[in-house]
Amino acid sequence: MSVCLPRRAKNMLAILATCLAFIFVLSLTLPVGAQSVDPGVGQPVALADVLEDVTPAVVNIAVTARGPEAANPLFDDPYFRRFFNIPEMPRQRPRMSAGSGVIVDAAKGYVLTNHHVVDGADEIAVTLKDRRRFTAELIGSDKATDIALLRIDADDLTDIPIGDSDRLRVGDSVVAIGNPFGLGQTVTSGIVSALGRSGLNVEGYEDFIQTDASINPGNSGGALITADGQLVGINTAIITPAGGNVGIGFAVPIDMASSVMNQLIEHGEVRRGRIGVAIQDLTPDLAEALGANKAFGAVVASVEDGSPASRAGLQSGDIILSVNGEPISGSSDLRNTIGLTPLGEEVEIGYLRDGQESTVTLKVDDDSAFVDDSDTSDRLAGAVLEESAGNVVVANVEPGSPAANAGLRTGDIIVAVNRQNVSSTAELTRILRDVQGTIALDLLRRGQRLLLVIR
């Protein structure tokens, strides 16, 4: 027996069958909750399971510091205090702040965080997820990369496996873990929005991972991890017009943070190397002028006499393409690579000159290793000067150097020294050699005239 259905009913049944088939297929492909893939067996792993393993390694950091309290000078007068019955006031008031940290070595109790989280701290307290609280020892801190290393004496710690930040790609899923606004441990997720960001601090060593995973005040020093639980960054900064997250956060790549950590463990500080070149990015105009068919690299603007670069034969106009076989994208990349290379280590520099690619091996040294008679002054050590259109221009200033501490900045134009006009580095050197006391530099900075006094 057959049943004849109207055409409209047949169409409705066909649509219903199609929808049921689609729902069935969708149910086979949609995961229940966020998932990642276990690289060992290729099976999906729930993100919640990954977080259960790694969140005990992210800690809260409370910092106590004492700063001078602004006070009315009359309060220093004992007769004034007695007349108005004002009690003795403490000269310093404790300042409290909070941040985050990441346990990277459970056996030794090492905790990575940001320099700005612990800067100026008198006491640093670390609180674990299980609410245990410890006083931390500051092993060392590096302002230029905003990385600090702490140590706590504790048992039964959990650390996060260190990943490879060089393998990150834009679009990779990441998770930020920290202590925003002192609320306690919080997890947010997002993607890698960009790589190799710089320019937040012109004096720092920057190669930031940009992410839209929500990062807020208090997240500083926390972990940026991949979906499979690998530590790839230390959350550091945000761009915000109103003090909250707008989806632009930055993390120090773990490769850079690990390099800094190793030096802090060994020396208690970061001992940066230099090869003695002033550099700039390879632009399309420069590439055309130099006859180069490259889109990336660092152009050597000048070479310091007596430096490793000078002894190795590098010249102005060379385009540095690689260090130890790793491509160099620009001047910031080269500066980071050389600056974080341990002193005395040999590196292989790949460069382009007159259309020919060559390599040279040289040893990374510190500033004092190649200061010769042409050095301008010990008080300006760390500044690379060059001549341009009759002006003495500061091409580069090494962070933490005497020149940087004196207030000199990259891009400054030195007009005069102690009221004596200068138009060449030779004139500047000659004048500075005769100065025994205070140095007064007349500068042009961003079109503004200013006087820099160096004692």
Active site residues: 116, 146, 220
Identity of the residue numbered 351: Y
CA distance readout (Å), 78 to 71, 72, 74, 84: 14, 13, 9, 10
Question: Is residue 440 within 8 Å of residue 406, measured between CB atoms?
Answer: no
Question: d(Cα 299, Cα 318) in Å, to the nearest integer?
Answer: 6
Q: What is the DSSP letter of 334?
A: H
Q: What is the DSSP letter of 375?
A: -
222 touches 173 (CB < 8 A): no
> Taking CA 284 as the corner, what is the angle to CA 279 and CA 289, rounded to the nearest 5 degrees?
75
Asked if residue 146 lies in contact with residue 116, where contact means CB atoms within 8 angstroms, the answer is: yes
**CB neighbour list of residue 167: distance below 8 Å, 6 or more residues apart:** none
The letter for the amino acid at 295 is A
- Secondary structure letter of residue 21 according to DSSP: H
Q: Is the dihedral of CA 191, 297, 288, 445 positive or negative?
A: positive
A 10 A CB-CB count for 395 gives: 20
Using an 8 Å Cβ cutoff, are 37 and 212 in contact? no
A 10 A CB-CB count for 32 gives 7
234: which residues sit within 8 A by CB, 6+ positions away? 102, 112, 113, 114, 147, 221, 222, 223, 224, 251, 252, 254, 257
Distance CA 222, CA 232 (A): 11
Dihedral sign for Cα atoms in the order 212, 213, 218, 223: negative
Is 439 strand, coil or helix?
Answer: strand
In sequence order, the β-bridge partners of residue 148 are 113, 141
* Residue 31 and residue 86 in contact, taking contact as beta carbons nearer than 8 Å: no
* Residue 224: CA count within 13 A, CB half-sphere: 33
3 state DSSP class of 154: coil
| Cβ pair 380, 367 in contact under 8 A | no
